[in-house]
Structure 1
Amino acid sequence: MYQSENFHKAAAYSRQHGGQSFLVMRGGKIIFEDYHDADGATLPHKLASGTKSFWGVLAMAAVQDGLLTLDEPVVDTITEWREDPRKSQITVRHLLAFTSGLESGKGVLEGNPHQKDIFARVIDIPSRDMPGNSFTYGPSHLTAFGLLLKRKLGADPVKYLERRVFHPIDLTVANWTRDKVGNPIMAAGAWTTAREWAKFGELLNKRGIWLDNQLVRSDLLDIMLTGSTANPGYGMTVWLNVSNAGRKSERVRRRPSRAGRDDSGRPSPGSAGRRMLEDIIAAGGKGDQRLFIIRSLDTVIVRQGDSVRHKGSGQAWSDKKFLALLLGYNARDPRSPRRRGREGL
């Protein structure tokens, strides 16, 4: 049963927080759209860290293609790490789960076109913990993964992403921010529209199937959507609606880690609340770019905006409130049930 009133409430909330695009897709069809600008449907928007989840799906495709395995040592490809007692133990799985032990790389490897060769720089980035012990959110892990892919492929990793994932689902990325030597900013470089991003969400919603074709094996995507011991709320490049206490963080530093936080420092887009639907999958980036996938409702939700610069609302963006409005929950009512069926949207 569709509740158009809920759509409009969620759209209004998004606009109050600098929202520029808001889209709801169900059953593979767009059932609601709201744009700040007249040409908003065709206006590409920076995904920031929403870019990260592309690489998790591509990694599973690469496993399917026989290009790599999740548990292979990264040092087999990034051989410069052979003599490092920590880096030499990093696996592909650690990179994708952000549990490699590498420093975050913030300020060094972020989405800045003025950065020098980020693939060269990630070779020398310090390690602060043994792989698997802790979760650290930042661009270092995927930058190292990009270097690994580039060496294995002998080509630009984005070309493989386009050929293997984007082209089969007719997804167009309008632009990809790159460093000075042309390497893609792996963790935050993609620009696309809400409609295009929704296609990627639908691929996850349908467990890797597109037009009756199993593009990426479902069992591999299930692995991608499983949290780590260090952070159960984060799978391989995606946020999960799983409670975590930032555990393992104190092995790295004496203050709370970024476990359960997005790159704005607020609760992660997957932390919608345990009274929400438990199967929410999310990608998110700075400015509160959001892609939510709710398989139990056969629904994909896209929200794009610039909440960082927008100060008109006087209040910070809340994923929990946004989803409560959209799904018809009372976000403050502890009696609100965890919905498992298709009611609501």
Structure 2
Amino acid sequence: MLCGLLAVSFVAWTAQGLDRAKLDRARDELAARGTRTFIVMWNGEIAYEWYAPNQEPNQRLGTASLAKALVGGISLMVAVEDGLLDVDDPAWKYIRAWRNDPVRSKITIRHLVTHTSGIEDAEQDGLPHEKLPGWKGAFWRRDPDPFSIAIHQAPVRFEPGTKYAYSNPGFAALAYAVTASLKGTPHRNIRALLKHRVFEPIGLRDEEWSIGYDRPYDVDGLRLYATWGGGSFTARAVARIGQWMLQRGRWNDRPLVDSTILDRAVADAGMPKPARTPGNPNPASGLGWWTNEDGVWRNVPTDAFAGAGAGHRVLLVVPSLKLVVVRNGDWLNEEGGAEGFWGAIEQFVFNPVIGALGLEPPYRPSPVVAGVHWAPADQIVRRARGSDNWPVTWADDDALYTAYGDGWGFEPRLDAKLSLGLAKVHGPAQHFQGVNLRAASAERIGDGDAGEKASGILMVDGTLYLWVRNAGNSKLGWSLDDGRTWSWSDWTFTESLGHPAFLNFGKNYAGARDTYVYIYSPDRDSAYKPADRLVLARVPKDRIRERDAYEFLERVDAAGGPVWTRDIARRGAAFSFPGLVYRSQVTYHPALKRYLLCGIIPIGDTRFDGGFGLYDAPEPWGPWTTVFFTRKWDTGPGENCSFPTKWMSADGKTVWMVFSGDDHFSVRQATLEMRK
């Protein structure tokens, strides 16, 4: 019998960046809170594995509602992969009894899988399932079967798609619909579909898993298995499924599910979210999975997703960290405890494991800069409370021009909150003054991704240029009169370049390396999703407004020179940090003759807590090295950061960082320590 700590892999703990002592402490806390299994997979290997006494690795444990992801979510993905149904199909196409129902006929597959169908849950007043009255008790007793009850008896309590309300019967209806879509296929029920299309190919043996409370129900000529609960898996089987999900549906270089379908499953499905209360960070719903896309789990990267069930049985997958975590057992918190369902998982599982994982810089140390010494945090100057973004450029009138988002600008603040507003900053970093710049042809409204926002700004030969994101994907504006009036391109970047930012040189683009303007962006259509890499574009400075004049870095050749292409589909990487490339700004440091790239690390709510990296290179395309790197700075770095050339000392040692921490125009002094 295996019990206590089972060390499947102790390989290079320090090199891996896993802090074993921290994981031991997390294990001790989990063990004290009823945990029976705890697995951490990293880089495709089991790095930490623990079982409670009398619990063995080959012993299956119930999943509760974790089955909604492992069974319901995955079976839906495979059916979509095969073209058997679409998530926006009306459910009545597969549940024929609903076709003429005035309310149920409005329910779609998306509604069922995201708990927005309006179908009432089979719960009441905290009663045990065996004591529930009426159709609710019959659903859990499976008398005569739960599917007929969900389809014919469970009432619809609101207009489908208008609210969130967790629904086990909704998932029963989903199981019926998916199974109906399998008619005429080689695998005519969900168990056969999972076994042959996913579980066997990734190496799961039959004895490692079961679904549907170990029995099917034959209804309307369909063999139906429960997908809302009733699963039973070994911890290693769950971890293996998590690793397959992390690998975007591939196993041994074979795609079992198309990666785009899997990406849709673990992304925010765009439906109403559950209520979020203090201590209970309820995530948004994907397609059977829960997603951290909006950063509700503050210390977890935004590409994370999870499945979870009663008893805090949870599978966490974080692709950017190559991390899979499995926990099974009893409830983590006491009845009536301060932590809600997700609050307890976050506190006792997510945060300790993330905290034990050291995040290493993506590049070796800088050969020029040995370190960075920051002024104390209490010396940070903050202006423009409640406004963020703040890309900056040094203009011909010696002012820094900038743009803010979701705020009211500098004091005195505007009456209206703007999604995109402009401002000028006068004076040295030690005592600057910010002034709002009104420009009706540039200002926008709309919070978050509902409003266009600035991502990059540049002055070249007296003309201000502005990149605007959230514009499907991004578009260009320009002003010939110092930002008072603006014209806009009749084209947009629709592939990649979701957050384009200009490479800034000196005053009015003085000191530029050549006659081109350079643009960086995470290789994403959206400004809100981390990428694996930054892409780099260039355009002659006298043709910035012409889409056909843009070239894209395809690769760097063996001699270190750039190879450019007009075809954006052939774009390559200018900077790589898999899963952790986010909003970035680049400035040329003339004294060092180096390019400084400041990039936010997209873990948690970086406005108030988080980290960033500062990198340098001799050319805009690299090779990059690391000047400074922290996963957790002593203050929130915000969502954007840069080092304006105007605020660099002549000897290059003193620089000032502009960042949007705490939703302000924040400025902090730094001293660069040079290598001898």
* Structure with more contact order per residue of length (Cα contacts < 8 Å, sep ≥ 6): 1
* Higher-Rg member (1/2): 2
The percent identity for this pair of structures is 29
**Is residue 213–residue 231 contact of structure 2 (8 Å, CA) maintained in 1?**
yes
Q: Quote the residue 2:202 is aligned against.
A: 169
**Which of the residues 166, 174, 179 maps onto 1:137?**
166
**Is residue 77–residue 151 contact of structure 1 (8 Å, CA) maintained in 2?**
yes
**Which of the residues 249, 263, 267 maps onto 1:226?**
267
Q: Quote the residue 1:70 is aligned against.
A: 87
In 1: Cα distance, 2:145 partner to 2:181 partner: 18
In 2: Cα distance, 1:206 partner to 1:187 partner: 25
Matched to 1:168, the amino acid is: P
Q: TM-score scaled to structure 2, two decimals? A: 0.43
Structure 1 residues 324 and 76: CA distance shift in structure 2, 3 A: closer
Q: How do 1:145-224 and structure 2 match up within 5 A?
A: 145-154=174-183, 155-171=188-204, 172-174=208-210, 176-177=212-213, 181=217, 183-224=224-265
**Which of the residues 73, 88, 91 maps onto 1:56?**
73
Q: Quote the residue 1:235 is aligned against.
A: 286
Q: Quote the residue 1:287 is aligned against.
A: 311
The number of equivalent residue pairs is: 313
Secondary structure of 1:177 counterpart: helix
In the TM superposition, what is the alpha-carbon distance from 1:226 to its structure 2 partner? Answer: 2.2
In 1: Cα distance, 2:139 partner to 2:243 partner: 26
In 1: Cα distance, 2:111 partner to 2:142 partner: 28
In 1: Cα distance, 2:322 partner to 2:630 partner: 8
Q: Quote the residue 1:326 is aligned against.
A: 353
Matched to 2:346, the amino acid is: K
In the TM superposition, what is the alpha-carbon distance from 1:38 to its structure 2 partner? Answer: 4.8
Q: Quote the residue 1:46 is aligned against.
A: 62
Q: Quote the residue 1:276 is aligned against.
A: 300
Q: TM-score scaled to structure 1, two decimals? A: 0.81
- Residue 22 in structure 1 maps to residue 38 in structure 2: yes
**Which of the residues 101, 106, 112 maps onto 1:89?**
106
**Is residue 113–residue 287 contact of structure 2 (8 Å, CA) maintained in 1?**
yes
Structure 1 residues 103 and 113: CA distance shift in structure 2, 3 A: closer
In the TM superposition, what is the alpha-carbon distance from 1:242 to its structure 2 partner? Answer: 4.6
Structure 1 residues 110 and 311: CA distance shift in structure 2, 3 A: farther
**Is residue 116–residue 180 contact of structure 1 (8 Å, CA) maintained in 2?**
no
In the TM superposition, what is the alpha-carbon distance from 1:302 to its structure 2 partner? Answer: 0.3
Could you say which structure has the higher strand fraction? 2
Structure 1 residues 197 and 163: CA distance shift in structure 2, 3 A: same
Structure 1 residues 11 and 215: CA distance shift in structure 2, 3 A: same
Structure 1 residues 285 and 159: CA distance shift in structure 2, 3 A: same
Secondary structure of 2:284 counterpart: coil
In the TM superposition, what is the alpha-carbon distance from 1:274 to its structure 2 partner? Answer: 2.3
Structure 1 residues 86 and 342: CA distance shift in structure 2, 3 A: farther
**Is residue 113–residue 178 contact of structure 1 (8 Å, CA) maintained in 2?**
no
C-alpha distance after superposition, 1:295-314 (max 9, x if no partner): 11101000011127x869x8
Q: Which deviates more from structure 2 when the two are superposed, residues 198-207 or residues 169-178?
A: 169-178
In 1: Cα distance, 2:36 partner to 2:120 partner: 33
Matched to 1:44, the amino acid is: R
Structure 1 residues 204 and 343: CA distance shift in structure 2, 3 A: farther
**Which of the residues 125, 147, 166 maps onto 1:119?**
147
